Structure 1
Amino acid sequence: MDSTQSNLESSISVPSVQELALQGPDKVPERYIRDEDGDGIIGTYPSDPNLHVPFIDMDKLVNADTQQEELQKLHLACKDWGVFQLVNHGVSTTTLKNMGNQVQRFFELPLQEKKRCAQRAGSLEGYGQAFVTSEDQKLDWNDMIFLKCLPIQNRKLDLWPQNPPAFRETLERYSEEIRKVTISIVKFITMSLGIQDTQISEGFREGLYDIRMNCYPPCPEPERVLGIVPHADNSGITLLLDCANFPGLQFLKDEKWVNVEPIEGAIVANIGQIIEVISNGIYRAPEHRAIVNKLEERFSIVTFCYPNPHTNIGPIDKLIGEGKIAVYKNLTHAEYFNKFFNRNLDESFIDSLRV
């Protein structure tokens, strides 16, 4: 990849993968192929079917009788994995199902209808792909629609689909319910660090909530492509709703890729780099990727949750001092995002935040 610095706040227009898949090709176009040797092995790490992402039960975190034990589980999940499946989180089953249905119905629309929401020059928002900065860059096997949902004034409603008819209303309700989960789980994450201060979790009450809805079409050579390349999230925390009944999301654990088995009603929560910085590296934002299926389409709904723009991003005071040094710099919200969007895609963002 060209290592010249790129502004990542916009993306070059590329063909729809869904349309490509509908043509029923026997082979994947060269630009999507990741295993140049043709051995069907993507990347350096094997997958391990014996490892399973931890479960965290929000009911047990809320209940005084079970809280300490569940907080210890949460601490280990954040420290050792950076990801967990959250159950009893409070988002209604109806809301989850409706959101999944609306996303599927949107991606089933004709291409010209979806293009009404196409990304505009200079922005990542809308229907298209993310972070494509050059004409020779390798492409992910997915289509997406990316929308800023909260605060309300951040919404660009001209990019919000009016078809299917219930899409907007459903997305509004979903983002509000996700915000409540975020405030609550971030409160417990800070408690699991031994900090009772709710200032960090309250920073998410007026935070930024951006939602990326993904479609991973069937692929004739799934072992040669990636739905999304390995990456860590720049969010505070990321909450993902998997709308499939087969695994497509993988996290890197001890140099092995681990499948996240979709569980009905569960939300996959992973630590973002903001919490990695806040925790002074005690909790790490995990590397993860999406793989694709030969026969079935997969949809996912990913909410990137950020604290409000007045929040400084740096290690919590209580986690430094007394012989513990700050691993990460202290940045304003604006400095953090400026660094993220004005960098080389082939360089580590988190390393650029180190002291």
Structure 2
Amino acid sequence: MSRSEAGAESHLEWSLPVPSVQELAKQQPHTVPSRYIIDDMDSFITTVDTDSDDHLLRVPLIDMTKLVNPDSHKEELQKLHSAFKHWGLFQLINHGVPNEILGNIKEEVQNFFDLPLQEKKQSAQKPGSLEGYGQAFVTSEDQKLPWNDMIFLKALPVENKNVNLWPQKPPTFRETLENYSEETRKVAVSLVRFMAMGLEVEAEDICKAYQGGRYEVRMNLYPPCPEPGQVIGISPHADNSGITLLLECGNMPGLQFLKDGKWVTVMPTDDAIVVNIGQISEIMSNGIYKAPDHRAVVNRVKDRMSIVTFCYPDSSINVGPAKELIGSGNPPLYKTLTHSEYLHTFNNRSLDIPFIDLLKI
């Protein structure tokens, strides 16, 4: 939801049912239904400088093997710290997730979205929850809709899983997602360790918190659109996670991040994971790292799919600036909240105010 659609306070842990964009696209319409047309689309695109190559800049590339190699660790850690500080994101290669698992999860997501609509609806969202097949944060019948379908599932810890919403078809979907989620947890724990090193704060507690933390997976399908300049795949937003890991399922670009007032397209790199800072880490770093605004755009000719894992520390960790980053010359810029207070604030906020602004002192 764009900020221009904001109204009174909304409870964002549920979503109204909406039509399938995939089914709409199959009809090959020449125009887009009015509910998908963004009235203030100019505000989405005016920051793109189409006369330059800025929107095609390459985001930083970080190599996990160099981070763990003593001979290259220092230099690569500085690159990671700089990427988080100046970009809020990077593409991670050699991350350790086996190619077989990457291939399997991409195939299973494709196979799920290829199912007949009625079979996908067996995993449809239930009233009062975002989890399942449908759309996120739809809180009114006249709200503008993004051009995507999704299935959102809570993966870890295992007791958080709503097995009734995990698709039974394709038959290996559940096992594949479980395996992928375990691998992304390993990546997340490693990354927060290096993040703590870059900030020069104590790492062990935060690593334990992510080892036992929450991992929630959103699988997105962006069908072809006859008027891609009139719609948005996902409206500009920053994530409320600790970190977010995104895997592209093909080579179709669509993810864009806002940097220095311009939208930068993330060009897919084979089997790389896009890592971006969430607002929990922005707060923990006392603003040294910034959770970047990002969005998804669509195209006229080809599906795009992505798998996004939102990684949160467990609820034992308060959300606030790290004590090592606070001192006489460095006052805290953000409040310290319990985990439940942080989530309550997010889910019950007024949408016309950026969430991070509610947490600033």
TM-score by length of 2: 0.96
Which residues in structure 2 correspond to 1:249-264 (within 5 Å)?
Answer: 249-264=255-270
Paired position in structure 2 for 1:24: 28
Question: 8 Å contact 2:241–2:280 — kept in the other structure?
Answer: yes
> CA RMSD for the aligned pairs?
1.2
Q: Distance in 2 between matches of 1:163 and 1:109?
A: 8
Paired position in structure 1 for 2:47: 45
Q: Distance in 2 between matches of 1:164 and 1:293?
A: 27
Which residues in structure 2 correspond to 1:298-337 (within 5 Å)?
Answer: 298-337=304-343
Paired position in structure 1 for 2:105: 99
Residues 265-322 of structure 1: per-residue CA shift (max 9 Å, x gap):
1000000000000000000000000000101001100000000011101000000013
- Give the partner amino acid of 2:317: T
Paired position in structure 2 for 1:14: 18
Post-superposition offset of 1:223: 1.1
Which residues in structure 2 correspond to 1:169-188 (within 5 Å)?
Answer: 169-188=175-194
Residue identity over aligned pairs, in percent, reads: 61
Paired position in structure 2 for 1:197: 203
Question: 8 Å contact 2:55–2:262 — kept in the other structure?
Answer: no
Paired position in structure 1 for 2:149: 143
Question: 8 Å contact 2:317–2:339 — kept in the other structure?
Answer: yes
Q: Distance in 2 between matches of 1:178 and 1:153?
A: 18
Question: 8 Å contact 1:237–1:269 — kept in the other structure?
Answer: yes
Residues 56-105 of structure 1: per-residue CA shift (max 9 Å, x gap):
11111101111110111011100000000001111011111110100010
Q: Distance in 2 between matches of 1:36 and 1:211?
A: 30
Paired position in structure 2 for 1:159: 165
Number of paired residues? 353
Post-superposition offset of 1:231: 0.2
From 125, 131, 136, the counterpart of 1:125: 131
Q: Distance in 2 between matches of 1:147 and 1:246?
A: 24
Q: Distance in 1 between matches of 2:38 and 2:68?
A: 44
Post-superposition offset of 1:35: 4.6
Residues 340 and 55 of structure 1: is their aligned pair in 2 closer, same or farther, counting only changes over 3 Å? same
Question: 8 Å contact 2:16–2:140 — kept in the other structure?
Answer: yes
Residues 11 and 324 of structure 1: is their aligned pair in 2 closer, same or farther, counting only changes over 3 Å? same
Secondary structure of 1:334's counterpart equals: helix
Post-superposition offset of 1:224: 1.1
Which aligned segments of 4 or more residues in structure 1 are displaced greater than 6 angstroms? none
Post-superposition offset of 1:196: 4.3
Q: Distance in 1 between matches of 2:172 and 2:112?
A: 10
- Give the partner amino acid of 2:249: C
Residues 167 and 302 of structure 1: is their aligned pair in 2 closer, same or farther, counting only changes over 3 Å? same
Q: Distance in 2 between matches of 1:354 and 1:27?
A: 43
Q: Distance in 1 between matches of 2:313 and 2:194?
A: 15
Q: Distance in 1 between matches of 2:13 and 2:271?
A: 33
Q: Distance in 1 between matches of 2:323 and 2:277?
A: 20
- Give the partner amino acid of 2:46: T
Post-superposition offset of 1:157: 0.4
Say yes or no: does 1:4 pair with 2:8.
Answer: yes
Secondary structure of 1:229's counterpart equals: strand
Q: Distance in 2 between matches of 1:24 and 1:116?
A: 25
Residues 123-146 of structure 1: per-residue CA shift (max 9 Å, x gap):
000000000001111110000000
Secondary structure of 2:280's counterpart equals: helix
Secondary structure of 1:204's counterpart equals: helix
Residues 198 and 2 of structure 1: is their aligned pair in 2 closer, same or farther, counting only changes over 3 Å? closer
Secondary structure of 2:244's counterpart equals: strand
Residues 117-174 of structure 1: per-residue CA shift (max 9 Å, x gap):
0000000000000000011111100000000000000000000000001100000000
Q: Distance in 2 between matches of 1:53 and 1:151?
A: 31
Unaligned ranges ≥5, structure 2: none
- Give the partner amino acid of 2:122: R
Q: Distance in 2 between matches of 1:147 and 1:36?
A: 31
Say yes or no: does 1:76 pair with 2:82.
Answer: yes
Say yes or no: does 1:347 pair with 2:353.
Answer: yes
- Give the partner amino acid of 1:329: K
